[in-house]
Amino acid sequence: MPKPTDSARLKRAGAPAAAVKRWFTPTLSTWIVGAVVALLLVVGVAFGGVGGALIMAGAVAFFTASYALVTGRRSWASIPTRKIAATALVGSFIITFSGAIALEPATPEPASAEVALPSATPKPTPKPTPKPTPTPTPSPASLFTDEAPADPSTVSPPASDASVVAPNTTTTDTTALVLLATIPIKGRSPKTGYERTGKFGSAWLDVDRNGCDTRNDILARDLTAIGKSGPCKVMTGNLVSPFTAEAIAFVRGQDTSWLVQIDHVVALSNAWQTGAAQLTQAQRITFANDPMNLLAVDGRSNAQKGDGDTATWLPSNKAFRCSYVARQVSVKATYGLWVTQAERDAMARVLGSCTGEPAVTSSFTPVPVVVVAPPAPAPAPAPSGCDPNYGGGCVPIASDVDCVGGSGNGPAYVAGPVTVIGTDVYDLDRDGDGIAC
Burial class (CB in 10 A: 0-12, 13-18, 19+), 14: exposed
Amino acid at position 89, single letter = L
Residue 32 Cα to chain centre, angstroms: 69
**Cα–Cα distances in Å, from 204 out to 146, 157, 282, 291?**
11, 9, 14, 11
Strand-pairing partners, residue 263, are 295
* Per-residue confidence (pLDDT) for residue 107, from 0 to 100: 45
Euclidean distance between CA atoms 381 and 283, whole angstroms: 54
* Per-residue confidence (pLDDT) for residue 249, from 0 to 100: 96
Residues 6 or more apart in contact with residue 276 via CB below 8 angstroms: 199, 268, 283, 284, 287, 335, 337
- Max CA distance (Å), the chain: 198
Sign of CA dihedral 418, 421, 423, 429: positive
Around 48, how many Cα atoms within 13 Å sit in the side-chain half-sphere?
20
* Three-class DSSP labels, the chain: CCCCCHHHHHHHHCCCHHHHHCCCCCCHHHHHHHHHHHHHHHHHHHHHHHHHHHHHHHHHHHHHHHHHHHHCCCCCCCCCCHHHHHHHHHHHHHHHHHHHHHCCCCCCCCCCCCCCCCCCCCCCCCCCCCCCCCCCCCCHHHHCCCCCCCCCCCCCCCCCCCCCCCCCHHHHCCEHHHHHCCCCECCCCCCCCCCHHHHHCCCCCCCCCCCCCHHHHHHHHHCEEEEEECCCEEEEEEEECCCCCCEEEEECCCCCHHHEEEEECCCHHHHHHCCHHHCCHHHHHHHHHCHHHEEEEEHHHHHHHCCCCCCCCCCCCHHHHHHHHHHHHHHHHHCCCCECHHHHHHHHHHHCCCCCCECCCCCCCCCCCCCCCCCCCCCCCCCCCECCCEECCCCECCCCEEECCCCCCCCEEECCCEEECCCCCCCCCCCCCCEEC
This prediction has a pTM of: 0.56
For the chain, the domains span 28-102, 176-352, 383-436
- The answer to whether 244 touches 321, Cβ cutoff 8 Å, is no
Q: What is the pLDDT along the chain (437 residues), one digit of tens a residue?
A: 444 444 444 444 444 444 444 554 667 767 677 777 777 777 776 767 777 777 777 777 777 767 777 777 767 676 777 777 777 767 767 877 777 777 655 444 444 334 344 444 555 565 555 555 444 444 444 556 656 667 778 899 999 999 999 999 999 999 999 999 999 999 999 999 999 999 999 999 999 999 999 999 999 999 999 999 999 999 999 999 999 999 999 999 988 999 999 999 999 999 999 999 999 999 999 999 999 999 999 999 999 999 999 999 999 999 999 999 999 999 999 999 999 999 999 999 999 999 999 999 999 999 998 888 888 776 666 577 788 888 888 888 888 888 887 777 778 888 878 888 888 888 888 888 888 87
∠ CA 182-286-147, nearest 5°, is 95
- The answer to whether 402 touches 394, Cβ cutoff 8 Å, is no
- Quickly count: other Cβ atoms within 10 Å of residue 77's Cβ: 21
* Per-residue confidence (pLDDT) for residue 127, from 0 to 100: 58
Euclidean distance between CA atoms 71 and 73, whole angstroms: 5
Strand-pairing partners, residue 237, are 250
**Cα–Cα distances in Å, from 76 out to 3, 10, 339, 434?**
32, 24, 86, 141
Burial class (CB in 10 A: 0-12, 13-18, 19+), 11: middle
* Per-residue confidence (pLDDT) for residue 111, from 0 to 100: 41
Euclidean distance between CA atoms 9 and 51, whole angstroms: 41
Residues 6 or more apart in contact with residue 62 via CB below 8 angstroms: 89, 92, 93, 96
Intra-chain end-to-end CA distance of the chain, in Å: 182
